[in-house]
Amino acid sequence: MSVNVITHPLVQHKLTLMRDKNTGPKDFRELLTEITILMFFEATKDLPLKEINIETPLKAMKSKVLEGKKLCIIPILRAGLGMAEAVLTIMPYVKFGHLGIYRNEETFKPVEYYVNIPYDLEERIVIIVDPMLATGGSAAYAVNLLKDKGAKKIKFLGLVAAPKGIDILQKTDPYVDIYIASIDESLNEKAYILPGLGDAGDRFYGTL
């Protein structure tokens, strides 16, 4: 297990723009796409490669391609969907599942409302995408559900985490690699991340 805070200047710059309350839904969506692509590079830097024989216009050579089964991307709805769509722009052949979870407003516990997951997770690297890791309840629920469905290697790609969310996810499964752009200070009384960026789903879809 590892916790990777991606400090690349482009990631940090875009995160600042996303946090700003004056950033509207159009810019927020575009920034989420851009930052996800940048962070996805980091989250996939350990993918296995194999050599194949090809010919350039000038010469035969051995060259590297990805090895093994395609990745599976699992967005936690709603806000994770924007991140998953961004991944599709650079890896259009990934497998894609949907996991609908919302937080109960009083208990902050995750409530499942839609699950559509590829059946053959065993041999795939599974990457859960969700911008926010607050109490960690939604991500932990997703990890347990995916393990029940056979996933063996799971990564979590998000933007902003609270220390509690990181802690809960690590306790749920110490083998999940976490990629995040910031670990913020704390949670407020409504379990929102402080300073955070607000409600990611509402900002993405303009449902404020």
Q: Which stretch binds ligand URA (CB under 6 A): 61-69, 115-123, 145-153, 193-201?
A: 193-201
Closest CB to ligand PRP: residue number? 201
- Return the one option of ligand PRP, ligand URA, none that residue 184 interacts with (CB less than 5 to 8 A, by type): none
114 - beta bridge partners? Answer: 100
**Catalytic annotation on 199?**
yes
Q: Which stretch binds ligand PRP (CB under 6 A): 33-41, 98-106, 121-129, 176-184?
A: 98-106
Q: Which of residues 126-185 bind ligand URA (CB under 6 A)?
A: 132, 134
Contact status: 102 vs ligand PRP (CB under 6 A):
yes
Distance between first and last Cα of the chain: 36
In the stretch 138-177, what mask flags binding to ligand PRP with x, by CB under 6 A? xx-------------------------x------------
Give the whole-angstrom CA distance, residue 68 versus residue 167.
31
Give the whole-angstrom CA distance, residue 156 versus residue 122.
17
**Catalytic annotation on 27?**
no
**Catalytic annotation on 202?**
yes
- What's the token pair of residue 46? 């350990």
* Residue 26, burial from CB neighbour count under 10 angstroms (0-12, 13-18, 19+): exposed
Q: Which of residues 13-52 bind ligand PRP (CB under 6 A)?
A: none
- Return the one option of ligand PRP, ligand URA, none that residue 102 interacts with (CB less than 5 to 8 A, by type): ligand PRP
**Catalytic annotation on 29?**
no
- Return the one option of ligand PRP, ligand URA, none that residue 130 interacts with (CB less than 5 to 8 A, by type): ligand PRP
Nearby residues of 139 by Cβ (< 8 Å), 6 or more positions away: 76, 128, 130, 133, 156, 158, 165, 168, 169, 172
Contact status: 102 vs ligand URA (CB under 6 A):
no
- Report in angstroms the alpha-carbon separations of 89 from 40, 66, 131: 11, 17, 18
Rg of the chain's alpha carbons, rounded to an integer? 18
Contact status: 193 vs ligand URA (CB under 6 A):
yes
Question: Which are the catalytic amino acids?
Answer: 103, 107, 199, 202
